[in-house]
Chains A and B, each alone.
Chain A
C-alpha cells in the first residue's frame, strides 16, 4: 500500500517537473529552480550536520568547487580566451571540456575528493574542529579563486556559462538527492551515523568505525553540494568568488534547523518556507517609509532578522518542524495520538 502511494507521488512529481516548462512563466520557473537547487544543497548538508551530528560549515566551499569545475568544463575554449581578462587561461583550462551530465558529476567527485582530504585532520581527533576547518576552507576557496586568475579569471569570475540547467534537470536531480539521502538514512550506514550523533563512545563500543562513517557522510554531502554548485553555475550562467560567501552556508543552516536536524522531509518543507521567506522579506533591505520618514536602504537587515530567528529556534524550538523524524513517521505518530484521544 505504502509502496503504491510512494510510486504515485514520484510519478506525479516527475510529471510536474517535466511539464512545468509549459505551465509556468519564466519568473515562477526561476523561483522553482532556485528552490530545487537549495533543496539539493540543504538535503546533503543535513546528512552531515543533522543525521551524523557533526557540525560543519562547508557548503559554500564545496558549492564553489562544483560551480567552477562544471563551468570550466562547459564553457567553450574560444569563449574562455575572450573572457579571461587578467591573464591567459592555463592550458588545462582551455583543454577541459565535457557534456553537462559528466561535467556535473566531475564537479561532485572533485568536491567529494576534497572532503576526503579534509576528513583526515578533522575526524581523527575529537572536538568540533570540522566546523572551524570547514569555515576556514570556505574562505580559502575564495582566496584561491581570486589569486589564480589563469584558472578562475580571478575576482571577475566566469560568465557565459552555457545554460543547460532548467527546472527539469534541477527537479530531477533534487529527487535523486532526496531518494539517495533516504536510502542512506534507512540503512546500516544511516543507523551508524545516528548512533554517532547520539553517543559516539557507545557507537565505538559497538564496533562501529566512526571515522569511516563520518567520512562517508561528509563525502556524500560534498558530492551533492558539488553537483548542486554545477547546477547553480549553469542556471545563473555567471559566477564570481563573492557568490560563495558564508551567507550561502548560513541560509542552508537556517533551512536544516527549521526543518529539523536529521529530517530529510523536514528539510524539503523548510527549503520552500525559507526561500519563500527570503523573497518575502526582501523589503527589509530596501528603503522603507515609516510615518513619513525614509529609513534608507539597509542591506543586511534580512540577515539580522534571520540570525535572530536562528537563535530563537535553537533556544525555544530546537527540534524544528519534524525533529529527526521523517514525514511518514510523524503521520504515524499523529494517528496514534488521535486513536488514543478518541478512545
Chain B
C-alpha cells in the first residue's frame, strides 16, 4: 500500500495553445492536509478538475493510492472516494439543506427504482438510514436547525458548511476543498478550521485544499505546493513557504496586479 493517497505526476494541461499547467508533480501523504496555493490564475482549480476527471490532461498521470485514475469519469471519481466542493458554492438551489445532503448519500441508499415506486421495505430501510446519517452530519456542522430550509436561504458561511457536508456524505477518502474560507469573516473561518480538523479525524480523511488566505493555510496544512502560471515554484511546509523569495515575489506580483 502506498503511503500517499494521491500522486500527481508530470501533469501538463494546454488550453488551445495556452499552457495552464506545466509538468506538475506532487504527492499527498495519507491523512495529511495538503495545500495547493498560488496567485489567481495559477491553475489550481484546473488541477482539481483534472483530479476529478472533469478535464483530461494533455500529459501526465493521476494516481489515487496506487490506481491510475487519469481521465476517469467524474461520477466514477466519487465512487473511488474523491469528493469535492466548488469555488463558487454550488448547492442544488430548489432543494432543502437535508435534500442537498441526501444527494451525497445517493449510493448509500441501495434501493432500486421499482422498490421506490412500489414503496417496498428496502426503500424505507435505506431512507431511514441515510436520513439518520444526514442529521448526524448536520449536527457536526451545526446546521441541523436549518434542515428543512431551502439551501440558498442560508448565510454564506452556512452554505459552505452544507456543501462540505454534502461532499462528506459520499464517504470519501480524499476531500478536495476549493477555497473553503473564501467570503467568510475571521470568526467563521476559525469555526470552519475547527470543523475541518474534527471531520478529518472522525472520517479518517486526507484533504487537498486550494486557498488564498495564507493564515488559514498556515493553520490547516501540513504541506503545501505553490503554483505560479502553472508551474510549481515551491513545495514544503507552509511556514517556510511564506519566507520563500520566489513565493513572495509571485504573491507580490499578484497584489500589484490587483
Contact = CB atoms under 8 A, between A and B. Distances in A.
Check A-B contact in the complex, CB < 8 A.
Answer: yes
Interface of A: 180, 183-184, 187-189, 191-192, 194-195, 197-199, 201-210, 216, 262, 324
Nearest to B116: A187
Contacts of B109: 188
Given A202-B90, A206-B166, A195 B123 contact: no
A210 B91 CA distance: 16
Given A183-B117, A206-B170, A191 B103 contact: yes
Contact of A198 (B84, B94, B106, B107): B94
Nearest to B176: A205
Interface of B: 52, 54, 74-75, 78-79, 83-84, 86, 90-95, 99, 102-107, 109, 111, 113, 116-119, 123, 127, 130, 166-167, 170
B75 A207 contact: yes
Contacts of B52: 205
A202 B52 CA distance: 12
Given A188-B111, A207-B79, A262-B94, 17 more contacts: A183-B118, A188-B116, A188-B127, A192-B103, A198-B95, A201-B54, A202-B86, A202-B90, A202-B92, A204-B74, A204-B75, A205-B78, A205-B84, A206-B170, A207-B106, A208-B103, A324-B94
A195 B92 contact: yes
Given A188-B116, A216-B113, A195 B107 contact: no
A85 B109 CA distance: 55
A189 B113 contact: yes
A208 B75 CA distance: 6
A202 B103 CA distance: 10
A206 B113 contact: no
A184 B78 contact: no
A184 B119 CA distance: 10
A273 to B, nearest CB: 24
A44 to B, nearest CB: 13
A197 B99 CA distance: 14
Closest 3 CB pairs of A and B: A207-B78, A187-B116, A198-B92
Contacts of B86: 202, 205
B205 to A, nearest CB: 16
Contacts of A324: 94
A58 B234 CA distance: 56
Given A199-B92, A205-B84, A183 B116 contact: yes
16 contacts: A183-B116, A184-B117, A187-B116, A187-B123, A188-B102, A188-B109, A188-B127, A192-B103, A195-B92, A201-B54, A204-B74, A205-B54, A206-B83, A206-B104, A206-B106, A208-B106
Contacts of B130: 188
Contacts of A191: 95, 99, 102-103, 106
A243 to B, nearest CB: 30
B93 A210 contact: no
A199 B90 contact: yes
B95 A199 contact: no
A77 to B, nearest CB: 35
A184 B106 CA distance: 14
A51 B215 CA distance: 43
A324 B167 CA distance: 25
A189, A191, A209, A210, most chain B CB atoms within 10 A: A191
A95 to B, nearest CB: 31
Contacts of A199: 90, 92-93
A335 to B, nearest CB: 13
A197 B94 contact: yes
B173 to A, nearest CB: 13
B74, B84, B91, most chain A CB atoms within 10 A: B74
A209 B127 CA distance: 19
Contacts of B106: 188, 191-192, 206-208
A208 B119 CA distance: 21
A206 B166 CA distance: 8
A182 to B, nearest CB: 10
B74 A183 contact: no
A188 B118 CA distance: 14
Contacts of A198: 92-95
A201 to B, nearest CB: 7
A117 B58 CA distance: 34
B91 to A, nearest CB: 8
A192 B116 CA distance: 13
A194 B94 contact: yes
B103 A195 contact: yes
A182 B243 CA distance: 60
Contacts of A201: 54, 90
Contacts of A205: 52, 54, 74-75, 78, 84, 86
A248 to B, nearest CB: 26
A195 B105 CA distance: 13
B105, B106, B166, most chain A CB atoms within 10 A: B106
A290 B86 CA distance: 62
Contacts of A188: 102, 105-106, 109, 111, 116, 127, 130
B151 to A, nearest CB: 9
Given A180-B117, A188-B111, A202-B86, A195 B78 contact: no
